[in-house]
Amino acid sequence: MTGGKKCIGCKIVAVLAGIGALNWGLVTFLHRNLVTGLLGEGTAASKVVYGLVAVAGAMALLSVFNLCPCQRQGCEPKK
């Protein structure tokens, strides 16, 4: 963590990846799936959420390598 501000894209990626990780934890420890609990099992809505979480997880992995421009520029907010 650099303590700088992340761009909105990085924030969305972090939030979605976090939701996916938390849901995974809920399934493992509490045997509750928040996504299918809220949106239904196998519904289009739940598939969209899983898809977004998967994409966000991949992007979060890539962010380790500072591929986003906001990370290369030290996350300085542009005006």
Task: Give yes or no for a contact between 17 and 60, defined as CB atoms under 8 angstroms apart.
Answer: yes
Q: Binding Zn ion by CB under 5 A: which of 5, 7, 14, 39?
A: 7
| Contact flag: residue 14 with Zn ion (CB under 5 A) | no
| Contact flag: residue 68 with Zn ion (CB under 5 A) | yes
43 vs 66, beta carbon nearer Zn ion: 66
CB of 6 to Zn ion, least distance (A): 5
- Cβ-in-10-Å burial (0-12, 13-18, 19+) of 71 comes to middle
Q: What's the gap between Cα 70 and its chain centre? A: 17
| Count of residues that bind Zn ion according to CB under 5 A | 4
Residue in the structure block whose two tokens are 């609990």:
37
3 vs 42, beta carbon nearer Zn ion: 3
